[in-house]
Amino acid sequence: MIVIALKAAHIFALTVWAGGLIALPPLLRRKQELANRAVEVRLHHFTRFAYDAIVSPAALVAIGTGTALIFSGVMLGDWLFLKLVAVAGMGGTHMLIGRVLDQLEAPEAKPTEFRRMALLLAAIVFVTATLWLVLHRPVVDRDLFPQWMLEGQDKDLPFIDEAGGSGSAAAPSSGAMAVPT
What are the φ and ψ backbone dihedral angles of 78, each rounded to 5 degrees? -65, -30
Question: Which of 25, 20, 116, 24 shows the shortest CA–CA distance to 61?
Answer: 20
Q: Three-state DSSP class for 164? A: coil
**CA distances for 92 relative to 20, 26, 126, 154, angstroms:** 14, 17, 10, 35
What pTM was estimated for this model as a whole? 0.76
Name the band, by pLDDT with cuts 50, 70 and 90, for residue 38: confident
**Residue with more model confidence, 28 or 162:** 28
pLDDT in tens, 163-180: 544 444 444 444 444 444
Residues of 115-128 as b/e, b for ≥16 C-beta within 10 angstroms?
A: bbeebbebbeebbe
- pLDDT, residue 18, reads 97
Question: Which of 86, 65, 91, 82 shows the shortest CA–CA distance to 128?
Answer: 86
